[in-house]
Structure 1
Amino acid sequence: MKKRIVFLLMLVFSGLSVVAQQKKFAVHTVAFYNIENFYDTINDPNTYDDEWVYSKKYFTQKVDNIARVLAELGTGENPNSPTVIGLAEVENKKMLETLVKNPRIASKDYGIVHFDSPDRRGIDCAFLYQKKHFQPLSYKNIPLYIYEKDTKKDKKDKKEEEEEKEENVNLDKTTKRIYTRDQILMSGMLDGEEVHFIVNHWPSRRGGEKISSNLREMAAALNVRIIDSLQKINPNAKVMTMGDLNDGPFNNSIKKVLNAKGKKEEVKPLGMYNPMEKMANKGNGTLAYRDAWDIFDQIIITEPLLQTDYSSWRYWKAGIYNKPFMIQTTGQYKGYGLRNSATEPGFSDHFPVYIYLIKEAK
């Protein structure tokens, strides 16, 4: 399998330079997928999951649909399924244990990192990873503290705003907390090299994009603090933050708070690169709303992954996986992601995204 991967990359890289023609490269795929309301067959009295209690038949088909996507995701340039996969909208760990045993992906021997989050719908983020290639060294869930008063556009002086951003809490805790998904940080060794992943599902646009934008900016600020903490330990930390951000590449949370750049040459040391910005400029999308496409599902990376010394893992390119079997073919939502219906499970209203990491083979 490894020889096959290396050979394919030699063909692809032959157009880059004469030197590239003479080198062999190994590859890994890193992916993110919002699998839309991945609930089980049991009504949990502690969450608002009444609407999504599935029959056994429905659940079984939903699992198989997800497994099909994960098995084939990114295999255009890499015959192996993704080595690391971030997931959103998972109800619990037992469902992931069922998923990784599905015949479509069972041979990949995926490990699981999952934490129950305080989200009222009972949906969490998680990671799957191929044990053969990735060994976690640490993982933890990091909560996002937001309160009802954060949804109001009240005036605050600059000092108060900075204090809230710094501490990720409100000075006034007398208002009700809004529970949302935790961010999960997973660090480990990718075929012997340390890398870091963060999986996110930022607050939705409920109530409108503008009125809720500050909630996603708070989520982005938490992301920045996590990445900063890794870079203080190692300025050359290779970090990949991914998720359903409920914002596109040009929204404030991405452009101003994360300060993610859409052009590699603009990324400075300790900076971030967002390959999804180029795809957005081309009109591509991961989900549609009222016939307008956007890229809410993103993978954003730190500067060391852009360097061109391929003696260690580097970023190669990114993509959106949107094969015909995942797309609605009729009706009002023709062309959209084939989502769940009341009688039959689909795949998701989101298309997954992925990046390739490459390294010169020895």
Structure 2
Amino acid sequence: MSIINVAFWNLQNLFDAVPSEIAADLEFTPENGWTEAAVAAKIDALVEGVATMFYGRGPDLLGVCEIETAGLLARFTQALNARLGRDDLTFAHAESPDLRGIDCSLIYSSDIFEPAGVPVGHIVFLRFRTRDIFEVSLRVRETGAGLVVFVSHWPSRSRGTLQSQPYRITVASHLARRVDAWLKLPRARVVAAPLADLTTDMDAAWNRNVLVLGDLNDDPFDISVLSELTATNSLDKLEEDLPAPGDDMGARERYLRRTPALYNMSWKPLGIPGEGTMFFSRDTVRTKQVFDQIITSRGLVYGRSGLRIDPLDYTIHAPRLLWTNQALADDAPRHMVRPKRFDPETGRGYSDHFPVTCQIVTVGMA
């Protein structure tokens, strides 16, 4: 059995200092204090934050969002390798036409994983093109087990929570369709062949390893996550095997309409007063939010396809280093423990989000 360390972190506006139209619009330019020195300080700070994960080993799989370019991602990954004393971290990236010019990406260990397909950034067209849903298919070198990772950053609440909610529901629906594409067989194949001949392949798809990492700008109980993505904290639907298919059109329709349930590990901290991954109080009575989430397929929960994840192994990684107020007592109320955003003037700070972590273990193939 091998352990794979997993993390997700919203890096908060990791732009380079190269002039661009988007950067100018958002004031990330040298004239506004976003200099090469600020970029270097920001990268150094983020690397130090990552180095506090997993007892200094760092993650083997790190989803990130709010990073501007592949060149900047390469620089960040190189700095991670140097700081962690590793040489195996590499990355997958696809430039997206997001209005704000920031992308989702995945850093992974080339010792543990190999690519199993071409990474794809899926763009959801709302009034404006929104941040991509980044899809990466990997294979564990040791066992051959597959893992599909989605890194996603959903539309913000800057227009107001209720006004922007339809945008997040739309992106959630698109992500759900991509998840369905991995966990179910294509309609054309289901219609063309006797279902009895597809049973083995249907079960294999239903139990694939799918992992969703992201800043969803909604809490786990919001409609976009709970209802549209069907990511819940209940095992009731997750534990259901596919029923033995009949061979009539009704059975085909039932299969095609069936919605795979996902398990959202991020419900765990919701019972702790004041706990969360970031501070947001613009138009809600909740001030700490659990926007940064880890969501898994049933295959990962039950170890059906060579990898297993403990559904309770979700941690908000909030070491004192990342706190806004480091003078707080260790047992300070959680609503007072807030992530320290980066200040380009002082070169101090990290991100306005805490990272989240979990672990995956390799198991025998079912």
Class of the TM-score when normalised by the shorter of the 2 chains: 0.7 to 0.9
1:81-125 CA distances to partner (integer Å, 9 max, x unpaired)? 211111100010111111122121462422111122122221111
CA-to-partner distance for each residue in 1:158-190, whole Å, 9 max, x for gaps? xxxxxxxxxxxxxxxxxxxx1211111100102
What does residue range 118-133 of structure 1 map to in structure 2 within 5 Å?
Answer: 118-133=97-112
Please state if 1:56 is matched with 2:36: yes
User: In 2 relative to 1, CA 67–266 (structure 1 residues): closer, same or farther, beyond 3 Å?
Assistant: same
Structure 1 residues 50, 42: CA separation in 2 closer, same or farther (over 3 Å shift)? farther
Contact map agreement 1:119 1:180 (CA 8 A) in 2? yes
Is the counterpart of residue 40 in structure 1 residue 19 in structure 2?
Answer: no
Q: What secondary structure is seen at the aligned counterpart in 2 of 1:277? A: helix
Does residue 335 of structure 1 match 2:314? no
Residues 5-28 of structure 1 deviation map (CA, whole Å, 9 limit, x = unaligned): xxxxxxxxxxxxxxxxxxxx4211
Matches of 2:278 and 2:22 in 1, distance apart?
30
Partner AA of 2:42 in structure 1: K
Alignment gaps of 5+ in structure 1: 1-24, 148-177
Partner in structure 2 of residue 305 of structure 1: 300
The TM-score normalised by the length of structure 2 is 0.77
Q: Which residue of 2 aligns with 1:326?
A: 322
Query: Matched residues in 1 for 2:86 and 2:25: separation?
Result: 32
What is the aligned counterpart of 2:90 among 81, 87, 111?
111
Q: How does 1:4-43 map to 2 (within 5 A)?
A: 25-43=1-19
| Counterpart in the other structure of 2:280 | 289
Corresponding residue for 1:254?
225
C-alpha contact (below 8 Å) 1:37/1:90 kept by paired residues: yes
Q: Count the aligned residue pairs.
A: 303
- 1:182 is matched with 132
Do residues 134 (structure 1) and 113 (structure 2) align? yes
1:198–1:308 distance in 2 versus 1, CA, 3 Å: closer
Query: How far off its partner does 1:40 sit?
Result: 1.0
Aligned to 2:146: 194
**8 A Cα contact 2:278 2:291, kept in partner:** yes
| Structure 2 counterpart of 1:172 | none
Unaligned runs of 5+ in 2: 186-204, 241-259, 328-334
Aligned counterpart, 1:271: 261
Measure the CA separation in 2 of the matches of 1:240 and 1:116.
21
Q: Residues 266 and 290 of structure 2 are in contact (CA less than 8 Å); yes or no, is this contact kept in structure 1?
A: yes
Displacement over 4 Å in runs of 4+: 46-50
Matches within 5 A, 1:65-84: 65-73=45-53, 75-76=54-55, 80-84=57-61
Aligned counterpart, 1:213? 165
1:326 Cα deviation after fit: 0.4
Aligned-residue offset at 1:242: 1.1
Letter in 1 for 2:151: V
| Residues 4-53 of structure 1: per-residue CA shift (max 9 Å, x gap) | xxxxxxxxxxxxxxxxxxxxx42111211000010111121255455223
8 A contact 2:49–2:321 mirrored in 1: no
How many angstroms does 1:264 deviate by? 3.2
Q: Percent of aligned positions with the same letter in both sequences?
A: 27
